Structure 1
Amino acid sequence: MASDDVFTGSREEHRELLKTYNTSVKKMPGFEDISARLKFSPSDGRIWLDNRRMILLHTGALGALRTELIETLGVRRARALLTRMGYASGAQDAELAAKLRPQASFFDVFAVGPQLHALEGVVQVEPVRLEADVTKGQYYGEFLWKDSSEDEIHIETYGVGADPVCWMQIGYA
């Protein structure tokens, strides 16, 4: 199957095809090094990921904020704002990735992002295909996002639509 061919099978058949079509993607590395950096300090009301303060937030609260942004600003501006928020999060996580795995392969450093998404309860990411040439500035990646909390929040309020709604995750990526 050429890369520009269109596959019209079921969702499950598509997942199986993606798993077998490109076998060059290896499994994600362990993320004990990442989870070891997560510290809960309830005595002073803080959560830390490495040296950065984090918060634990109900998805319902994030959903209420998302709805308020959409109703107040409109879909276009709400999407832009949440995408920028995701970008800021991704930039901070990229710094952490470089710090955690300075001698690791590109894939193992890159994997910190999807692994943090899983650790933070955002989404479970399954790599399908990843090609990168850092010296040429070229990148191509295919991933399956499973059980996206952002998608779940949006669908709960607005139903299934025709456009992507994982705006923070898109900005993060």
Structure 2
Amino acid sequence: MRNLFEKIGAIIIEIIDWFYFPFLRFIPKEIFRYAASGGANTFFDILLYFVFYRYVLDMQIIHLGFMAISAHIGAFLMVFPITFCTGFLLAKYVTFTSSELKGKIQLFRYLLTVAGSILLNYVFLKIFVEYCGWYATFSKIVTTIIVVMYSYMAQRYFTFKTGKRLIPAKANR
């Protein structure tokens, strides 16, 4: 299975890198790959969220007997397992391919960083939909922008640990 993921990852990298040339002076390749693969996964996430919220849940509260879950949170919970898997695979086999950490460690760390993303998603969706009165899909888009910034930093410097310091240490004078 790993070989299959590596082959698919190599194909995706080829496609992404083909579009990289105009950006090479402005964006490091790793960030471009993260933006492209993460952007595709984010688009997939928002599309699934819209479909689940609008058509599967019909924008109705989910009554579980012992509790009720709003449709915007229910849609998030339903979409999450799907995009968790696609996000991890894209990060591991497309963006952070130079990480030398073992896959199990990466997966555990990815789970931890995604837990932070879940918390941020939950909090911002609650704030934007229930307190600000924004539409759920628009709230999801704004929330996603915030969470993506957190996610890149956490994945680069913790989950896949490929990053060096942002600011180089000053040389001895």
Quickly name the TM-score band, shorter chain normalised: 0.3 to 0.5
- Larger % of helix: which? 2
- Larger % of strand: which? 1
- TM-score, scaled relative to structure 2: 0.38
- TM-score, scaled relative to structure 1: 0.38
